[in-house]
Structure 1
């Protein structure tokens, strides 16, 4: 699979403007024969929108998902992006949405580990998400989920070969983010990609440094602070190679009181 990470700096609270910019990214991805284009957390609204959520949160069949689905179908791309989703019961979730190359919505993941002010506005998700695609099993997590090893481990145990995490992480966390993503990859001997954003929203300075790590923790692609893209070829055979000498998931033991 050929993966493109788009580390964007969206215009705050202007989804129409940000969606217009998506088409040029789609063209770039097609020229590079990319299979999946991945964007950050809350990709088309900006992250620091808590006081604007009533206006900016959308249902899964709203204008943002509809527009992305149309472009995914037009360009024959899988597209992953973050969305402030309004659920049918009125609750809000910080979601990751996956659209396939025919414009079909095939997965929604609701962020399970909420950070800071998110607790006041979003309802935490309860379920992990692994989706089978023609280029492998994809697991989804979002931003603060990266910092809890249990999330990636649960996805790997459910068969995820590639874990993708739309993110809006801030300074001074760039190197910690890189270390955590590499660790999640090596611990689970799978591919892990963090799709972070750039720019500034009021007091929030985003740290960029989006990264794709391989099954042995190797850095396959990494960006700096500025907006940009990176394309990585993902060879799933690397997973079996990594597990030849030690297979952490197979050898994992769960201890209880009787083992102590």
Structure 2
């Protein structure tokens, strides 16, 4: 069993570095007082994250801000003093360029390894060069992997660390508020970290910032998640705090990737060619049985099937279990798990709940241009459905025994309903063109931002 602490800190400025040292020192000491063996500090806890530009950073350096070597040595001294391993985010210098970096220091003060952020987020591009390696780090506590903030949004990065033997993951982060005004939200503490831990079978410890830096607002909510996707400790959205929990580093679950999927995932990334503007997709949900029931729906007045294409969801399909059929002219045709079909510029893929538990199948469909992924069955937890939607920027529609649930490309639940009574139906439309936009933020694309040459499954 490993006792981990995550330290949550407020947003700061370059000229506040002295106060940052005092606060970080207090948090490190507090973690040791609570018997932690390892403490994780946020992304760019030193000296700040939102620095504006490299020019502003180097101006601060000329004004007295110490360099990254100073902070690395300072961390080593605290690690030795407290007999505590430390993972901390900081800015590192490489000539005139900067990297968004995390250092892992052992309880003896030895620098064990480093990770540089690979998947840059929005304003990261104004300041940092991307990292080029995805390697686990060997430590006295076991082999571990480090993700920095948006690295967790691409499943391939966590999958590579686990495939290379990481038994737990550490995440210095600064979760940016991407919610509606007055409703702070970020998908990572909401569902994504739980999904990553559950899918890959490893604990994850995430330390975030809260408050503001420049124009960015952070949501706090630092957390420690066990290998089963259960949150064991969590900070609030707006507090300087420590969260501490005991977790069991686990033998990782190797990513389940077929040879065909591996070839697709490791090929060069490019957006799928756009063949036509996707038409709106009409959806009808019925409690039908067999193809005859679907044909009756299609032929009934007011079915809406005159505006094609239409996806029909059935809660009691022929052969048992939920199913779906597509009507794009003529009789509806069943869509089985594993199929992919274009209709009216819309590309729909269908997965079993078992296949949707792993990222590879949905990812391959997204790389081929899927707008909607239909998941048949109930044997999958919601956070994994949300992750499949968010990491691919697609709609995900789960069709289960008791009803259906629709998740929008950001991962949030858009609609859910139980199956209607016999003879009744639920109708709605989807504007699937939304799923053609693969950018999470400026210059942050979930397809073209991949670096397959660095992945291993």
Q: Same fold (TM over 0.5)?
A: yes
Structure 1 position 214 matched with structure 2 position 233: no
Deviations, residues 131-166 of structure 1 (Å, cap 9, x unaligned): 112222110010111111111111110111111111
Instruction: Please list every run of at least 4 consecutive aligned residues from structure 1 whose deviation after the TM superposition is greater than 4 angstroms.
Output: 56-60
157, 165, 175: which one aligns with 2:171: 165
Moved more, 37-46 or 173-182: 173-182
In structure 1, what is the Cα distance between the partners aligned to 2:22 and 2:13?
14
In structure 1, what is the Cα distance between the partners aligned to 2:255 and 2:193?
21
In structure 2, what is the Cα distance between the partners aligned to 1:118 and 1:27?
31
92, 96, 112: which one aligns with 1:106: 112
TM-score by length of 2: 0.51
Where 1:144 maps in the other structure, the secondary structure is helix
In structure 2, what is the Cα distance between the partners aligned to 1:129 and 1:120?
25
Q: 1:20 to 1:215 in 2, by over 3 A?
A: same
53, 57, 76: which one aligns with 1:53: 57
Aligned length: 249
Check the 8 A contact 1:167/1:197 in 2, yes or no: yes
Aligned ranges for residues 103-182 of structure 1 at < 5 Å? 103-171=109-177, 172=179, 174-178=185-189, 179-182=191-194
Q: 1:145 to 1:58 in 2, by over 3 A?
A: farther
236, 239, 253: which one aligns with 2:258: 253
Quote the offset at 1:67 in angstroms: 1.2
Q: 1:76 to 1:69 in 2, by over 3 A?
A: same
Name the residue aligned to 1:74: 81
In structure 2, what is the Cα distance between the partners aligned to 1:160 and 1:121?
29
Check the 8 A contact 1:174/1:208 in 2, yes or no: no
Deviations, residues 81-125 of structure 1 (Å, cap 9, x unaligned): 1111002x4431100111111112111111001111211321111
In structure 2, what is the Cα distance between the partners aligned to 1:232 and 1:148?
26
Quote the offset at 1:218 in angstroms: 1.2
Structure 1 position 94 matched with structure 2 position 100: yes
Deviations, residues 232-256 of structure 1 (Å, cap 9, x unaligned): 11223xx35xx8xxxx527432315
TM-score by length of 1: 0.88
Q: 1:158 to 1:35 in 2, by over 3 A?
A: same
Task: List runs of 5+ in structure 2 lacking aligned partners.
Answer: 265-338, 340-457
Name the residue aligned to 1:41: 43
Deviations, residues 168-197 of structure 1 (Å, cap 9, x unaligned): 112236451121101111111111122111
Tell me: higher relative CO, structure 1 or 2? Use CA pairs within 8 A at least 6 residues apart.
Answer: 1
Quote the offset at 1:229 in angstroms: 0.8
Name the residue aligned to 2:198: 186
Greater C-alpha radius of gyration: 2
In structure 1, what is the Cα distance between the partners aligned to 2:150 and 2:255?
27
In structure 1, what is the Cα distance between the partners aligned to 2:80 and 2:150?
31
